[in-house]
A = this chain, B = another copy of it.
């Protein structure tokens, strides 16, 4: 076999992938074990061969989501990333594409509100994910010479997350777009070279 991973491992990944998508859209309570397994092309009973419990799945799905996010951060903020790369990340993060595809996007806008009531394992992983995101932005701002890099990074992340959350709340597409456009502009205005 070209693929070293076993059949079971690949099945597990498939379940996790479906779970990560469903959770981003429907929240922690948004999908049942039965519905999830159906989406993965399996029956509900097999679930417990892969996960100890539903909580265990959620914790692992959170990890999975943030691994996807880390890949996105790597893509935009590589080794010598500067303000232009950060600006590009902002544009991507607050794009129409992200507005319309929550199932593949950042878990923060949809799920942050639920973190306080997540089971401990999932919550710990989620907090770590937030911290990674924040510190990678801070790193770029530090390298760009900002003295208040940490504060700016927190402020930027908060605005990005809040903006996408509010935009996705709006059923009117135009209103949602306006929120994204406004915040993209506002954030760009704060990324002027020193």
- Give chain A's interface residues, CB within 8 Å of chain B: 25-27, 29-30, 102, 108-117, 123-124, 126-127, 130-131, 150-152, 154-155, 157-163, 165-166, 168-172, 175, 178-179, 182-183, 185-187
Copies of this chain:
2
> With A27-B113, A113-B110 given, is the CB distance from A163 to B154 under 8 Å?
yes
Closest chain B residue, CB of each to CB of A152: B186
A125 to chain B, nearest CB (A): 12
- Which residue of B102, B112, B131, B154 is within 8 Å of A165 (Cβ)? B112
Q: Could you name 18 residue pairs across A and B whose Cβ atoms are closer than 8 Å?
A: A110-B116, A111-B113, A112-B166, A112-B169, A113-B114, A123-B171, A126-B169, A150-B182, A151-B182, A154-B179, A154-B182, A155-B186, A158-B159, A158-B165, A159-B159, A159-B162, A161-B165, A165-B165
Main secondary structure on chain A at its contact with chain B?
helix
**Chain B residues whose C-beta falls within 8 Å of the C-beta of A115 in the assembled complex:** 168-169
- Which residue of B171, B175, B183 is within 8 Å of A158 (Cβ)? B183
**Chain B residues whose C-beta falls within 8 Å of the C-beta of A127 in the assembled complex:** 169-172
The reply to whether A30 and B117 contact each other, CB–CB distance below 8 Å, is yes
How far does the alpha carbon of A75 sit from the alpha carbon of B172 in the complex, in Å? 30
**Chain B residues whose C-beta falls within 8 Å of the C-beta of A168 in the assembled complex:** 115-116
**Chain B residues whose C-beta falls within 8 Å of the C-beta of A27 in the assembled complex:** 27, 113-114, 117
Max chain B C-beta neighbours (<10 A), residue from A26, A109, A155: A155
How far does the alpha carbon of A30 sit from the alpha carbon of B165 in the complex, in Å? 20
**Chain B residues whose C-beta falls within 8 Å of the C-beta of A187 in the assembled complex:** 155
